[in-house]
A and B are shown apart, each in its own frame.
Chain A
Amino acid sequence: MEGRLLGGVGAGLARHLRLDPVVVRLALMALSVGGIGVAVYVALYFFVPVDPEEREKGADGPDGRRRGRDLSQLVAYVGLAVGLGVLFLLFGGVFDPLLWFVVFGTLGGVILWQHANPSQRDEWMTSTVGGAGGKGIMRAIAGVLLVVVGVIGFLVFQEQLQNARAGLTFAFTVLAGIALIVAPWIIGLIRERDQERRERIRNAERAELAAHIHDSVLHTLTLIQRRAEDPREVQRLARVQERALRSWLYQRPADADTTVSPALERVAAEVEEEHGVPVEVVCVGDCPMDDGLAAMLRAAREAMVNASKYAGTKNISVFGEVDQEEVLVFVRDRGAGFDMDDIPEDRMGVRGSILGRMDRHGGSARIRTGPGEGTEVQLRMPRIPEA
């Protein structure tokens, strides 16, 4: 809070009430003689939230709220102690009920006044957002109860309730009348506000959808029209777009970085995008990733790339299964196939990237193929038992 002397309560209150800070500070000082001013100051300091703008400024600045807070917190605690001490002196001990009614009333007032703060009030009014609303209402009720108990108790113990009765009756009647007049208007206002909010959300959603369709689908359709003479490219574009749209429509809860099934699907999507051969993935079960499984996915990727490049097939089937003890991945194509014996010892592709890699990580790989019979790469990796 700019221009604050202590905790910024004086200045903040002044701004809120649109008074000169000096007046507020003087008033607080005057109240402090009885001890109540200190209590009010402290309560406000803790209960009233810092203006969000101010908070940001404070965080950025070298001498932020944090630093200031440590010192002023100490002062505030001392102030609280002094204030309470003065109160006890005034009322002659902790057991004077009058003291407690004053404390109740003040506390209730502070709680209620919090809602005067716009950010707080917003939270309080937004009862549509679940728990926050209920809490706000509870707080308001608690505040009102505290104030009522405080006021009535104070009057009773001052033995002035009889005198105040006529005035109270009058005040209640007037208040009830005003409530009757104003309530429909307030309710209407709240409803209008809710509707506006809903409308705004709906519009935002529509705008997002339109933007998405524009950026992705329309863009791809344009590309397809321009590349119409290249069927392979057209198919690739359509597949990529389809995949993107599907994942957008049915947002998957699982994360491709943490569990196997989505990761396998992602690998397949990448290979498909790179090489233009459709890869169909079916997954059963799921489990968290670990090093062995990551190696297995790299081997599976190699198998898919090989199938895309050499099999000359129109599509590749990938099946991943998570068992109790192991994870299995099958990569299959119905393409040319090859003779394992014809593959030179030094060729890294199959031996290094698939067989060797699986061996090194404690798994195993099997390749079934033959000229003209298609190829199936079977990968097997034991699961690390969950601790």
Chain B
Amino acid sequence: MRTPGRAGVPAAADMGRVHGVADQSTSFSDGGALPRVVIVDDHRLFRSGVRGELGEAVDVVGEAGDVDSAVHVIGEKQPDLVLLDVHLPGGGGVEVLRRVLAQHPQIRFLALSVSDAAEDVIGVVRGGARGYVTKTISGRELADAIVRVADGDAVFSPRLAGFVLDAFSATDAPPVDPELDRLTQREREVLRHIARGYAYKEVAKELFISVKTVETHVSSVLRKLQLSNRHELSRWATARRLV
């Protein structure tokens, strides 16, 4: 069931994961192959619900209900994408990210949670997830998000965009690394539109740029969010319990 050639180039895939450079051979948005997905959530009812909602849009190859079985199933099935619940028995979604990404850096994660808490959102994204959506998302939107993340792009919900804007503007302290600790004017503009409820396509139209450019901006924001080691980020997240 392994996709040939993918596991063999973890370094390149890892770069893709961090820098948002989509690997052309695995583009799912063209409608070629279906992304292979593992669903990790401790509520069985919810797993089957998601499975039903996604229907034919993706290929669900496995499920898991806790950290240990998730690591096992993901290692065995080598999916393109893992739908990850933030709250899991045995250490939470962050623990799954830590253990899986150490061995299989090419696997992409989309966090799916009922939690709106900034701690959870920022924590799991900094742990390596490429997107964060809440469980109220519709089946179609979820399928879109899966395809996007599986292709190496980032998915920001309006809420996550709001968190990022807040986190990066929360302090006047001089940035440690200006490259990583600050958002550019354009990135800020894109995030503000996402927070206002605009889809990527609508953002592109609004700002007179291509959808691809919007994706590049979002991926670059994601990279900053993941790599910036400014303490303010985590401190901000803990200080702010909920939107």
Binding site for A on B (CB under 8 A): 116-117, 136, 158-159, 161-162, 165-166, 169, 192, 195-198, 241-243
A5 within 8 A of B: no
- Which residues does chain A contribute within 8 Å of B196, judged by CB atoms? 317, 319, 330, 332, 376
Known: A284-B169, A317-B196. A250 touches B161 (CB 8 A): no
Task: Give every chain B residue within 8 A of A252 (Cβ-Cβ).
Answer: 241-242
How many residue-residue contacts, CB under 8 A, span A and B? 50
Known contacts A280-B158, A282-B162, A285-B169: does B242 contact A319 (CB below 8 Å)?
Answer: no
Contact with B along A324-337 (1 / 0, CB 8 A): 00000010101000
**Min distance, Cβ A374 to any Cβ of chain B, angstroms:** 9
- A217 contacts partner chain B, Cβ-Cβ < 8 Å: no
Say if the beta carbon of A246 comes within 8 Å of chain B: yes
Residues B162 and A319 in contact, CB atoms below 8 Å apart:
yes
Contacts of B161 in A (CB 8 A): 282
Given contacts A265-B243, A282-B159, 5 further A-B contacts (CB under 8 A): A246-B116, A250-B241, A251-B241, A282-B161, A376-B196
Residues A285 and B117 in contact, CB atoms below 8 Å apart: no
Chain B residue nearest in CB terms to A252: B242
A246 touches B162 (CB 8 A): no
Q: Is the interface of A mostly helix, strand, loop or mixed?
A: strand
Contacts of A250 in B (CB 8 A): 116-117, 241-242
- Tell whether A321 pairs with B192 under 8 Å between CB atoms, given A280-B158, A282-B159, A284-B169: yes
Query: Please, which residue of chain B has its CB at the minimum distance from the CB of A316?
Result: B197
Is A289 positioned at the interface, with any CB of B under 8 Å from its CB? no
Q: Is A112 an interface residue (CB 8 A)?
A: no
Say yes or no: A283 contacts B243, CB within 8 Å: yes
Task: Please tell me if A281 contacts chain B, counting CB pairs below 8 Å.
Answer: yes
Identify the A interface with B (CB < 8 A): 246, 250-253, 265, 278, 280-285, 317, 319, 321, 330, 332, 334, 376
A283 to B196, CA, bound (A): 10
**What CA separation (Å) do A280 and B198 show in the bound complex?**
13
**Top 6 closest A-B pairs, CB basis?**
A317-B197, A282-B162, A250-B242, A319-B196, A250-B241, A330-B196
Residue pairs across A and B with Cβ atoms less than 8 A apart, 17 shown, are A246-B116, A246-B242, A251-B241, A252-B241, A253-B241, A278-B136, A280-B159, A282-B158, A282-B161, A282-B162, A282-B195, A284-B162, A284-B165, A285-B166, A317-B197, A330-B197, A376-B196
User: With contacts A321-B192, A330-B196 known, is A283 near B242, CB below 8 A?
Assistant: no
Could you tell me the distance in whole angstroms from the C-beta of B143 to the nearest C-beta in chain A? Answer: 17
Instruction: Give complex CA distance A246, B196 in Å.
Output: 22
User: Are B243 and A281 neighbours in the complex by a CB distance under 8 Å?
Assistant: yes
Contact B197 A284 (CB under 8 A): no
Whether B166 and A319, one on each chain, are in contact in the complex, defined by CB atoms closer than 8 angstroms, is: no
Give the complex CA separation of A250 and B159 in angstroms. 16
Cα distance A278–B137 in the bound complex, in angstroms: 12
Known: A246-B116, A317-B196, A376-B196. A282 touches B169 (CB 8 A): no
Min C-beta distance of A337 to chain B, whole Å = 14
Residues of B within 8 A of A319 (CB): 158, 162, 192, 195-197
How distant is A112 from chain B, measured CB to nearest CB, in Å?
Answer: 45
Nearest CB of B to A111, in Å: 43
Partner of A317 from B116, B158, B243 at Cβ < 8 Å: B158
Whole-angstrom CA separation of A251 from B241 in the bound complex: 8
Residue contact A283 to B197, C-beta cutoff 8 Å: no
Instruction: Specify which chain B residues have a CB less than 8 angstroms from the CB of A376 in the assembled complex.
Output: 196
